[in-house]
A and B are shown apart, each in its own frame.
Chain A
């Protein structure tokens, strides 16, 4: 998997531009877990954050120095850079409920 920036949401046409969600997904090569995580993330974002999110996929195999910055240990790790505070979600994001709680999209029960 290449490092790429996936932009979604046709920026500008939005009601709450201040609430742009900046998400980073750290992976290490195209492992099944990484692919699962990416597709899960995309789905969750489309469902809940349509038009106001941005996903950055960072492959540590290509840019290992990046792991230090966000204190990445586990792969895959999803980091919510914005809105503050920073949140980290590890795992393949298959547990949608927990991802939503982790991203603060839904208050924990």
Chain B
């Protein structure tokens, strides 16, 4: 995929440019090399000078219809042809079709004796002939410095080189001249003093055992150019200079939202999930379920009918498929249906640049809507901090430029302190989810937060993150007086609360019953008292009765006694007047 569009018209208007067709280089130079002028490409051994030059010619011939001449002072035609065949360049075919002329200039100092004044007109004639034979617009002189080794008189050589560059300009060809990097100057023999228009420096550095190639436009007269050092790589399709598009920050944005595949997570993200084309970072300690979340996201994309590309740097595709089956995700049909593709590689397989190149190539080939990198941290170990940040920036830029939603998982080590690299990386991300372990009460539980989500109202709540055989679920964590509780303690706490509620309900019942019992007892007591009261009244009545009877008996006895004792007794009794009833009886 050629991401690079045509160069901006304004830049082309200022200074005519000659597009190299090399991925990224035309962006850095905003359009290409200065047209009709020589460009010096310098660098140490094995930097890719020759490859850059060959690609300049091949792309010129194939893409821009500009034939070219390759004048090699080092490699023979056969060597050159086989060297670049691995990059997919068919030099032989281009030569047969008269698009490219290859001329190998062979100089052997031991065969040459210098016997007086000379000039390099032979070289000029030769070059001129080659250019005219196919109407070449581009010329490469691969390591002119071989002349310094081959020709004894440096004074003549320098004068002739000056003439050569002027001649090239007059000829109106766009030339690339390669030169070895010197110790104190850009080139070993100071060629930069002749080429004043454009100088590109290539570099091959080994940092922590990982080699990275860099390209820098040292000088570009009369044109804006990126002055930074840009990593570049030599892939199967030639050179690609990174960044692809990262000189600007003007991606198109989408307000389309896409589901995360986890309904509760969508709910946390303003109810509708991530933005289409945004970048998402999911950090978590080991075993928190990062891959599972990523797989849900991939599955959701595939279910929408979008293609998802899953870069795995830890597990093989089959392992992921098997593991996800255990949580209820069936990824095989999606893979078979061509909606989901896995690309697994060991991070240590190659350097960062190669990984990046592979990823670019895969993305270009598969054209996914969603890209998952699991985990990005594995890649980070393959380079230094600044490199990896640069790489992630480029990757995100590349993906955003293509409106691809990117989902990166990131492994963090335990504890709450965030790693420095994460902080650096997080600023590139639109959304940041955090998975964390909570340890306590003899168990570990996962919780999920949304740390940031640019452009959407997101939940600030902690959710407990559950993985079951039906997939991922998010549950409200218990937040109460004793803090945030998850897992068994959440369950325990809920149970405790339920028990407490039940207890108090039971307590109330018990108290009610007790009161009722008390009331019944009182009632009973009242009944007792009443019957006692009645009994007393009865008693009282009986006592009264008894008293009356006794009185009567007494009276009767007394009357009897009186009767027995004479009549006066009767008189006395009648005088009291109360003996009559008794007498009646």
* A75 engages B120 (CB within 8 Å): yes
Residue of B nearest to A41 (CB): B115
In the complex, whether A98 has a CB less than 8 A from a CB of chain B is: yes
Within residues 54 to 74 of chain A, which ones have a CB less than 8 A from any CB in chain B? 60-61, 64-65, 67-68, 71-74
Q: Are A77 and B122 in contact (CB under 8 A)?
A: yes
B117 to chain A minimum Cβ distance, whole angstroms, is: 5
Q: How many angstroms between the C-alpha atoms of A61 and B122 in the bound complex?
A: 9
A74 to B135, CA, bound (A): 24
B565 an interface residue at 8 Å Cβ cutoff? no
What is the predominant secondary structure among interface residues of chain B facing chain A?
A: mixed
Cα separation A9 to B454 with both chains bound (whole Å): 94
- Distance (whole angstroms) from the CB of B526 to the closest CB of chain A: 138
B132: nearest residue on chain A (CB-CB)?
A64
Q: Is the CB of A94 within 8 A of B115?
A: yes
* Contacts of A25-47 to chain B: CB distance below 8 A: 26, 28, 31, 33, 36-37, 40
Given A73-B147, A98-B113, verify A90-B121 contact (CB < 8 Å). Answer: no
Min C-beta distance of A9 to chain B, whole Å: 23
Q: Does B575 contact A (CB under 8 A)?
A: no
- Closest-by-CB residue of A relative to B150 is A73
Partner of A89, one of B115, B117, B120, B151: B115
Say yes or no: A90 contacts B118, CB within 8 Å. Answer: yes
B147 cross-chain contacts in A, Cβ below 8 A = 73
A89 to B109, CA, bound (A): 11
Inside 8 A of B150's CB, which chain A residues have their CB? 73
A33 contact from B105, B111, B119, Cβ within 8 A: B119
B170 proximal to A (CB < 8 A): no
- Chain B positions within 8 Å of A90 at CB level: 112-115, 118, 151
| B64 interface residue (CB < 8 Å to A) | no
- Number of residue pairs across A and B with beta carbons under 8 Å? 99
Contact string, A72-95, partner B, CB cutoff 8 A, digits 1/0?
Answer: 111111000000001111111111
Q: Interface segment, B123-131, B257-265, B384-392, B458-466?
A: B123-131
List residues of chain B with CB within 8 A of the CB of A36: 116-117
Instruction: Please name 9 further chain A to chain B contacts, defined as beta carbons within 8 Å, in addition to the given A73-B147, A98-B113, sorted by A numbering.
Output: A28-B125, A33-B117, A73-B107, A73-B123, A74-B120, A76-B118, A90-B114, A91-B114, A94-B116
Nearest A residue to B106 via CB reads A71
Task: Name 25 A/B residue pairs within 8 A (Cβ), A-sorted.
Answer: A28-B125, A36-B117, A64-B129, A67-B125, A67-B126, A71-B105, A73-B107, A73-B123, A73-B147, A73-B150, A74-B121, A75-B120, A87-B113, A88-B112, A89-B113, A90-B115, A90-B118, A90-B151, A92-B115, A94-B116, A94-B117, A95-B115, A98-B114, A98-B115, A102-B113
B430 within 8 A of A: no
Q: Does A23 contact B (CB under 8 A)?
A: no
Q: A60-B125, A64-B126, A67-B126 are in contact. Are A75 and B118 (CB under 8 A)?
A: yes
Within the complex, the shortest CB–CB distance from B255 to chain A, in Å, comes to: 64
- A74 and B119 form a contact (CB under 8 A): yes
Q: Does B197 contact A (CB under 8 A)?
A: no
Name B113's closest neighbour in chain A (CB-CB).
A102
A91 to B114, CA, bound (A): 6
With A64-B129, A67-B129 as given contacts, are A91 and B117 in contact (CB-CB < 8 Å)? yes
Contact status A74-B116, CB under 8 Å: no
Q: Within 8 Å of chain A (Cβ to Cβ): is B314? A: no
The interface size of chain B toward A, counting residues with CB under 8 Å, comes to 25
B192 on the A face (CB < 8 A)? no
In the bound complex, residues from chain A placing their C-beta under 8 Å from that of B118 are 33, 74-77, 90-92
Q: Please tell me if the beta carbons of B116 and A95 are within 8 angstroms of each other in the complex.
A: yes
Chain A residue nearest to B124 (CB atoms) is A28
Nearest-CB distance from A94 to chain B (Å)?
4
CA distance A7 to B363 in the complex (A): 70
Point out the residue from A26, A64, A89 that lies within 8 Å of B112, measured CB to CB. A89
**With A68-B103, A73-B147, A86-B111 as given contacts, are A92 and B122 in contact (CB-CB < 8 Å)?**
no
Contact at A73–B120, with CB atoms within 8 Å? yes
The closest CB in chain B to the CB of A93 belongs to B115
B residues near A68, Cβ cutoff 8 Å: 103, 126
Contact B112 A72 (CB under 8 A): no
In the bound complex, CA of A94 to CA of B105 (Å) = 26
Q: Is A101 an interface residue (CB 8 A)?
A: yes
Task: Enumerate chain B residues within 8 angstroms of A102, measured Cβ to Cβ.
Answer: 113, 115
- For the complex, give the distance between the alpha carbons of A74 and B175 in Å: 21
Chain B residues within 8 Å of A101, by CB: 113
Per the bound structure, the CA–CA distance linking A82 and B401 in Å amounts to: 66
Q: How far is the CB of A61 from chain B (nearest CB, A)?
A: 7
CA distance A65 to B158 in the complex (A): 25
- Chain A residues whose C-beta falls within 8 Å of the C-beta of B126 in the assembled complex: 60, 64, 67-68, 72-73
List chain B residues, Cβ under 8 A from A89: 112-115
Which residues from chain B contact A95 at a C-beta distance below 8 Å? 115-116
Give complex CA distance A71, B123 in Å. Answer: 9
Q: Are A26 and B122 in contact (CB under 8 A)?
A: yes
Contacting pair A28 B122 (CB below 8 A): yes
Instruction: Give the shortest distance, in Å, between A85 (CB) and chain B (any CB).
Output: 8
Top 3 A-B pairs ranked by shortest CB distance?
A: A102-B113, A64-B129, A91-B116
- Pick the residue among A31, A86, A99 that contacts B115 (CB under 8 A): A99
Interface residues of B in 72-119 (CB under 8 A from A): 103, 105-107, 111-119
Cα-based distance from A14 to B129 in the complex (angstroms)? 41
Contacting residues, chain B, for A99 (C-beta < 8 A): 113, 115
Question: Distance in Å from the Cβ of A45 to the closest Cβ of chain B?
Answer: 14
A60 touches B117 (CB 8 A): no
CB distance from A90 to the nearest CB of B (A): 5
- Return the contact of A60 from the options B105, B116, B122 (Cβ within 8 A): B122
Q: In the complex, A95→B117 CA distance in Å?
A: 10
**Candidate in A37, A74, A75 with the most chain B CB atoms within 10 angstroms:** A74
Contacts A68-B103, A71-B106 given; does A91 touch B120 at CB 8 Å: no
By a CB distance below 8 angstroms, the chain B residues around A87 are: 111, 113
Q: Of residues A68, A71, A95, which shows the largest number of chain B Cβ atoms within 10 Å of its Cβ?
A: A71
Give the residue among A71, A88, A90, A98 with the most B Cβ atoms within 10 A.
A90
List B contacts of A71 (CB < 8 A). 105-107
Chain A residues with Cβ below 8 Å from B121 are 28, 31, 60, 74-75
How distant is the Cα of A75 from the Cα of B128 in the complex, in angstroms? 15
